[in-house]
Amino acid sequence: MPTAEELKQRIEASIPGAKAQVASPDDVHFSAQVESPAFAGLSRVQQHRLVYDIFAGELGGAIHALQLKTEVP
């Protein structure tokens, strides 16, 4: 099962300059706050896609839910 720490590391490794805070009560439902300069100029939908793309195929499976908040620092 993925852990919050693992998700945090994968987000930060995949999105340039990203800082992520990830929490999970059960290693199935996650909530993440992600800040990255790479989000600048993107719509919220595009920002969330950047994060979702990291976990393609896992959302709805091992990662049952990923609550997301994205911000430009």
Regarding 19 and contact with another protein (CB under 8 A), the answer is no
Among 13, 28, 65, 72, binds another protein (CB under 8 A): 65
Among 49, 62, 72, 73, binds another protein (CB under 8 A): 49
Regarding 68 and contact with another protein (CB under 8 A), the answer is yes
Cα separation values, 29 from 14, 22, 36, 72, Å: 21, 10, 22, 24
> Amino acid identity of 1?
M
- 61, with CB counted inside 10 A (0-12, 13-18, 19+), is exposed
Interface ranges with another protein (CB under 8 A): 44-45, 48-49, 52, 56, 59-60, 65-69
